[in-house]
Each structure stands twice: as structure tokens, then as C-alpha cells.
Amino acid sequence: MRPLRLGAVLAGALLLLSAGTAASVAEPGHRSGGPRNWVGTWAAVPTATPESATPVLEDETVRQVVHTSVGGDRVRLRLTNEFGTSPLRIGEVRVALRDGSAGTDTAPDTDRPVTFGGSTSVTVPAGAPMLSDAVELRLPPRSDLVVSIHLPQRTPVTTLHGFSYQENAVAAGNVTAKPSVTPTSTMTQWHFLSGISVRARGKHTGAVVALGDSITDGSETTAGANNRWPDLLAERVGGRTGVLNSGIAGNRLLHDPNPPEGSDAESYAAFFGQSALRRFDRDVVAHPGAEHVIVLLGVNDLGHPGTAAPLSETVTAAEIIGGHRQIIARAHAAGLRAYGGTILPFKGDTLGFYSTENEDKRQTVNEWIRTSGEYDAVIDFDKAMRAPGDPLRLNPAYDSGDHLHPNDAGMAAMADAVPTRLFRPGRGH
């Protein structure tokens, strides 16, 4: 009897241990679905910095404004040194709600220190991100958050998001705790910051990731207005779902930046980021609560060869479709639903992208997205954005002026083209 009794005790202990382990990970888990689950509320894709355009900071505070999507009662930051070749020394980080709708002033009663393993300072290894501890802060949906990072020693800014369409500030010394700072300079980039997640209060709160290029990143939209189409989609879903912007200006599905030697593109191509196939796991799957991905990619694969990339990187429609198929397969393997966005029209663009050959490829890719059934749903951005009577051109009412990038009204039309029913609880894999 004793061996049986001992076995029963061991089995019971294992059950209790298993239950305890499940309980301990459910609260901060990736896709817990419980009453309090961590979910991404804001994101910016980190990229390298062109050698000729690398800022250097020393004993300075970078104060950055981000516009969140879903709310919660705790926040967690993701810092990044993923393109750095040496450790990144962070002296102090603080977070607070913005005071008002402009500038970088903070509401003093919301100011909180951010710690990393209990320490207010941290060294981020070369090539790595760094997650903070959870910070107790009630963050309303679709609010502006100010993140202040002090860099105590000489620090080249080797990892950033090149186009924030939001004015941020640099100030002398460690002024992370000050409600108001006097900028020594301003910038429209995000430095060393790539994600913010919250502990959401809903019974089920997930996130949708917008994987794209400059059109998703917000190019040509009004700075500081948060009129990128993912921001406007977050308004449409009413703060019930996290909406994360994983767009990068100039990004391609199939190729990393490769500016022709001696071309102007050498001074900016690094901002285009790694190919979507290379960065997919980091910029989609790794986000807390990610359940859906909207893919809008391919126009730069068509337009860059011969402009910002060598002609040898000219791609076929079949190669672009093959890249989309990989995105779908990897999304499904990670338990995400994948939605295909059709490529917008760009006839007459001022960037030199358009040709009859590229138009034929765009039509082939879009037809495959619409009819193949391989994506879980289709979001027909092309149909929503084309000009009445001239479907090869961007609607003039939505045109920023370069005949490729939408203006603020065009971004609203794109957000309206996304069926929000796709994100209802229970739709994920």
C-alpha cells in the first residue's frame, strides 16, 4: 500500500505544481485570454542608422511621445539596441501621461520610474532588446504617453525608427523626472524604443499588427496628428483591441536595403529596415497578445530596383506571391490570422516606381490576394483608394501629392476599409 500511497501523493503534488505554474504564467502570458492579459498597445520597428546620419547623445535626455491604442492598469516598455555593436548604457527611464495634446510636457501625478530587474539603470547588450518591469500606471485607451530616457555617456544612436511623424525632444542632463523640459533639439524619430504593452482589463484583449511599408508607417500624414491608418483603425475598434504599427518607410517584402554604390540612397536606405520576411518574428509574432496581422507589402519590391536598389533585385509577381505565402504560413504556425491587403495604385508617381511592367505585376499580385483564398480575409485597399474612372491612379481626394502615398483623408479611407468584425473575440486560431 505504501508505494501506491506515495505515488498518489506524488501525482497530487505534480497536479498542484502544474496548476500553480499555469496560474503564475496566466497573468503576464502572451495570449492568456484571461481577465488580465498583457497586450501590445504601441510599436515602432527598429532599424539601423545610416553612418552619415547617426546622431550622438551624451548626458542628454530623449523625451518621446507615443500614441497608444488599448488601455490597461500597468505598462511595460521594450527598449532596443538591436542594431548596436556595443552595449547601450541607460541611466534612467521614466514614463508619464502627456499633459495636454501638444508638446512633451508630462502630467506630474502620472510620472513613474521604470525599472529593469528592480534597477533604475540598465545596460542593453549589443544586438538585443530589453523589457522593463511592469509599471503601475492607469493608461486610458488611445492616450499619449511620454517616455524619457537618459543617456549618461557618449552614445551613438545606432538603433531607431527613422520616421515617427511626431516631434520629440532632446534636453541636456538627466531631466527625466521634470514635467517640462527645455529642448536643445527636436527630432521626428523614435530612439531606442520599440514597444509598449499594457496589462489589459478586459476578459479578452488581443492585438492586430499592421505589417507594411511607408503607407502603413504614416508617410506624408500630418505630424503629431496620429492620422496613420493603424491609429485610425484603433479609434474604430474603440480601444478594445491593441493595434500595432509594424510599418517602415521604404520596407520591402523580399529584400533588405541595398543602395547602389555612389547613389543618394546610401545616405538613407538603412532606415528602410530588414525585409518583412527577415523581421516577421520580431515585428509580428513577438508582440504580446498578437492574434491578427494585416499585410500590405509589395510596392517597394516593384519600385526600388532601379531607384533605391540595384536592377538585379527586380522581382516577379510570382516571387512577391511566394513571399506572401511565407508570411501566411508563419502567421498560421504562430496561431495568428493573416489578412492580405491589396497594393494601392501608383500610376504617375513622382518616385519613379510606375511602369507598365510593374503595373502588370501589381495586378497579378492583387488578383491572387483577392481570389486565391490563402489569406484568412482580404482587405481591398486598392479598391478603396483608386481614382473614380481611372483605377490605375490614386484617388485625387486621397493623394498626398506624390501619387503614391495617401494624405490624411486617404488614411481614414484605408482604416474604414478594414472590417472590424475580423477582430472579434473567438476569431483567432
CA angle 294/235/217 to nearest 5° reads 45
The amino acid at residue 252 is R
d(CA 121, CA 115): 7
Among candidate residues 296, 297, 317, 309, the one with its CA nearest the CA of residue 418: 296
Backbone φ and ψ of 70, nearest 5°: -100, 150
C-alpha cell of 134? 511592469
What are 192-249's pLDDT values in tens digits?
A: 999 999 999 766 689 999 999 999 999 999 999 999 999 999 999 988 899 999 999 9
Cα distance between residue 298 and residue 323, in whole Å: 9
Cα separation, 357 vs 407, whole angstroms: 26
Task: Name the one residue in this structure whose C-alpha cell is 490605375.
Answer: 392
- Which stretch of DSSP H or E encloses residue 124? strand 122-124
Local structure of residue 313 (DSSP, 8 states): G
In whole angstroms, how far apart are CA 173 and each of 10, 224, 334, 364?
Answer: 58, 25, 43, 55
Would you report the helix, strand and coil content of the chain in percent, each value rounded to 5?
A: 30, 30, 40
Query: DSSP letter at 140?
Result: -
Name the amino acid, one letter, at 147. V
Contact 258, 310 (CB under 8 A): yes
Tens of pLDDT, residues 88-99? 999 999 999 999
3-state secondary structure of 319: helix
User: Do the beta carbons of residue 42 and residue 145 sit within 8 Å?
Assistant: yes
Q: Where are the alpha helices (DSSP H) in 281-428?
A: 299-303, 317-333, 356-371, 381-385, 408-416
Q: Which residues contact 93 (CB under 8 A, 6 or more apart)?
A: 77, 79, 113, 114, 120, 122, 132, 147, 148, 149, 150, 176
Strands 92-97 and 112-114: antiparallel
Position 32, amino acid: S
Q: How far apart are CA 165 and CA 220, in angstroms?
A: 8
DSSP 8-state symbol, 376: S
Q: What is the pLDDT along the chain (429 residues), one digit of tens a residue?
A: 333 333 333 333 333 333 332 222 334 344 444 456 999 999 999 999 998 889 999 999 999 999 999 999 999 999 999 999 999 999 999 999 999 888 999 999 999 999 999 999 999 999 999 999 999 999 999 999 999 999 999 999 999 999 999 999 999 999 999 999 999 999 999 999 999 999 997 666 899 999 999 999 999 999 999 999 999 999 999 888 999 999 999 999 999 999 999 999 999 999 999 999 999 999 999 999 999 999 999 999 999 999 999 999 999 999 999 999 999 999 999 999 999 999 999 999 999 999 999 999 999 999 999 999 999 999 999 999 999 999 999 999 999 999 999 999 999 999 999 999 999 875 544
| 359-382: b (≥16 Cβ within 10 Å) or e | bebbbebbebbeeeeebbebbebb
